[in-house]
Amino acid sequence: MTQFEQSALLQGLPDQFFARLTATVRKHLAQGHDIINLGQGNPDLPTPDFIVEALQQAASEPQFQQYSPFSGHLFLKEAVATFYKREYNVTIDPETEVAVLFGAKTGLVEISQCLLNPGDVALLPDPGYPDYTSGIALAQAQASLFPLLAENDFLPDYMSISKETAERAKLLFLNYPNNPTAGVATHDFFEETVRFASANNICVVHDLAYGAIGYDGVKPPSFLQAAGAKETGVEMYTLSKTYNMAGWRVGFAVGNASVIKSINLLQDHLYVSLFGAIQQAAATALLSDQNEVKELVARYEKRRNVFVNGLKRIGLEVEAPKGSFFVWMPVPQGFTSESFADYLLKEAHLVVAPGNGFGQYGEGYVRIGLLAEEDRLEEAIQRMAKLRFASITS
């Protein structure tokens, strides 16, 4: 069969880190091992019944069996506006300040194509979600990385970004609660971000994928709560984590009207919006009493406590995350991120994500997802306890 050469654009795309990780897991499962997979960000619990039932009912309605409006149904955008007012006391214009997305990942890739020209600069966190770079590569733009360090609570130090780089930059990607570090932002930090972005004419893109998941009674803030935030950028939200709807591929962008217009314009050329029944189910989720979300967060907090306390019990020091469903664990002395992840997989059949897959400053860590029931997390601790890290690193 003739092999047709890929375009230079495709050949220039970064490797898909999570695709490689998934392939590794499948290989070991095929060998018959009892794998505890804590390496991915795929929620392990089902979508709440009331959301599934809303989809089932809506799917039978003829109006949703036709093409959806190109920019999405107004009822979903109105639900988004109601959600933001209720959860964050932020006023959103549903007609001009909301874009419906095929999951937040799509929006995070698309926005670079909307706002960047070849050679333009986007500021990216290191470590960070790998797919931010995909959109930058598709736009033939450049990424300028800034480190997220433990001593700064995994928040960027804007003073460390050179004046020249700041002046060239057009986009700034942020993500709090953070993947992979589990760092959490503050209102003061977001106000500082608005000042930095305004001074340099930079559009902020805040990825609020884990916005619902905060612990110890603290609700993670929205970037749009900062004064002037809507003038300086947008926030992207997914229903994947808040409502266990990862496979549904539904999310939205909210904020600066000119950016929302650009996203909608690009999507007009790519899609005819989401299946209307999914949009109806998404609106149902956003407008619900959120009791299921509260129960979910409490469940993750119990898992966090079991796992973090277990790590400390076997002599592995780690900070308890304040948000997200990840634990960002320093690797034991004598290991790299990859050698530790490989060791856990080989000797304990335990999958974690090596930190260097998220960037240079992820080296020395592994990301562990709290995406298994408490008994399996406890079993993961027991498997790790048998490895005697000190004896193999001396």
Q: Are residues 252 and 323 in the same domain?
A: no
Higher pLDDT, 170 or 16: 170
The whole-number pLDDT of residue 155 equals: 98
Closest Cα to residue 195, out of 161, 167, 232?
232
Q: String of b and e for 214-236 (b: at least 16 CB within 10 Å)? A: bbeeeebbbbbbbeebbebbbbb
d(CA 260, CA 134): 20
Tokens of 233: 């950028």
User: What's the domain count of the chain?
Assistant: 2
pLDDT, mean over the chain? 94
Q: Which of 258, 287, 316 is the last residue of a domain?
A: 287
**Tens digit of each residue's pLDDT (9 = 90 or more) over 47-88:** 999 999 999 999 999 999 999 999 999 999 999 999 999 999
Confidence class for position 391, pLDDT limits 50, 70, 90: very low
Tokens of 116: 């960047």
Reply yes or no on whether the pLDDT at 24 is more than 80.
no
The whole-number pLDDT of residue 33 equals: 79
Residue 308: CATH number of its domain: 3.90.1150.10
State what percent of residues in the chain have pLDDT above 70.
Answer: 97
Reply yes or no on whether the pLDDT at 265 is more than 80.
yes
Q: Are residues 117 and 223 in the same domain?
A: yes
Residue 343 located in a structural domain: yes
Reply yes or no on whether the pLDDT at 239 is more than 50.
yes
Length of the chain: 394
Q: Are residues 258 and 338 in the same domain?
A: no
Torsion angles phi and psi, residue 382, rounded to 5: -65, -40
Which residues neighbour 113 within 8 Å (Cβ) at sequence distance 6 or greater? 135, 138, 139, 266
Q: Are residues 150 and 237 in the same domain?
A: yes
Residue 41 located in a structural domain: yes
Q: Which of 287, 307, 339 is the last residue of a domain?
A: 287
Q: Are residues 375 and 258 in the same domain?
A: no
**Tens digit of each residue's pLDDT (9 = 90 or more) over 366-378:** 999 999 999 999 9
Residue 255: CATH number of its domain: 3.40.640.10
Q: String of b and e for 367-390 (b: at least 16 CB within 10 Å)? A: bbbbbbeeeebebbbebbbebebe
Q: Are residues 94 and 189 in the same domain?
A: yes
Reply yes or no on whether the pLDDT at 388 is more than 90.
no
Q: Are residues 88 and 18 in the same domain?
A: no
The whole-number pLDDT of residue 394 equals: 33
Closest Cα to residue 338, out of 20, 62, 34?
20
Domain that holds residue 222: 49-287
pTM of this structure: 0.94
**Tens digit of each residue's pLDDT (9 = 90 or more) over 128-178:** 998 899 999 999 999 999 999 999 999 999 999 999 999 999 999 999 999
Q: Are residues 249 and 355 in the same domain?
A: no
The whole-number pLDDT of residue 390 equals: 47
CA distances from 369 to 127, 155, 209, 350, 351 (A): 16, 21, 15, 11, 10
Residue 202 located in a structural domain: yes
Confidence class for position 389, pLDDT limits 50, 70, 90: low
How confident is the model over 354-381, as a mean pLDDT?
A: 96
d(CA 317, CA 330): 8
How confident is the model over 108-137, as a mean pLDDT?
A: 96
